[in-house]
């Protein structure tokens, strides 16, 4: 059994198939009711299309106007500038740049103090957790840079105290 020649049915009805392929498709149609039904459906569609009135004649200069419109569409800016239009975008561009600059300055103005406060809070937490800073010899023998370092030194101090007991 050969494959169904559905892609070739429209070309057969139009007379666009080469003679040898047209003969193969006709032979297949003789033995395949599904393909005959598809051919009948396509034949009906072609008959309905041919019964339509002819297309109206195009007005003068239609082609030139269409090409100009397509060129204008291709050259139109995309995105926000296209939505607002080129004039509105040119008017709003300086304002948008000023707004972006103000937003960036605000982010910097907020982020820098917050970061400094966090560093200060970390140091305060470290000092609050480390009782042995009163003992200068112990504190200066170890580099204590973070709260985690302070916790470790405090743990070591407690362990040392526990080991010294009987």
pLDDT band at 88 (very low <50, low <70, confident <90, very high): low
Residue 20: predicted pLDDT: 94
What is the pTM (predicted TM-score) of this model? 0.36
Position with higher pLDDT, 164 vs 11:
11
Among 19, 3, 32, which residue's Cα sits nearest to residue 11?
Answer: 19
Residue 115: predicted pLDDT: 73
Q: How many CA atoms lie within 13 A of 159 on its CB side?
A: 6
Identify the residue whose tokens are 């030139």: 64
Round to whole Å and give the CA distance between 131 and 135.
8
Among 116, 110, 141, 146, which residue's Cα sits nearest to residue 130?
Answer: 146
15: its two tokens: 């007379």
Residue 143: predicted pLDDT: 65
Round to whole Å and give the CA distance between 163 and 166.
8
- The angle formed by the CA atoms of residues 129, 133 and 135, to the nearest 5 degrees, is 140
Q: Are 150 and 144 in contact (CB under 8 A)?
A: yes
82: its two tokens: 């296209």
pLDDT band at 83 (very low <50, low <70, confident <90, very high): low
pLDDT band at 166 (very low <50, low <70, confident <90, very high): very low
pLDDT averaged over the chain? 77
């Amino acid at each position: 059994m050969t494959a169904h020649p559905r892609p070739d049915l429209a070309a057969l009805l139009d007379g666009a198939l080469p003679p040898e392929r047209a003969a193969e498709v006709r032979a297949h149609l003789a033995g395949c009711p599904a393909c005959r039904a598809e051919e009948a459906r396509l034949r009906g569609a072609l008959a309905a299309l041919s019964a339509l009135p002819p297309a109206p004649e195009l007005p003068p200069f239609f082609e030139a106007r269409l090409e100009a419109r397509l060129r204008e569409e291709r050259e139109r800016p995309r995105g926000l500038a296209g939505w607002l239009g080129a004039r509105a975008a040119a008017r709003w561009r300086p304002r948008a740049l000023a707004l972006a600059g103000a937003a960036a300055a605000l982010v910097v103005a907020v982020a820098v103090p917050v970061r400094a406060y966090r560093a200060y809070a970390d140091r305060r937490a470290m000092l609050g957790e480390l009782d042995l800073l009163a003992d200068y010899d112990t504190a200066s023998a170890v580099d204590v840079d973070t709260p985690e370092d302070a916790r470790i030194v405090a743990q070591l101090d407690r362990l040392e105290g526990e080991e010294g007991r009987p």
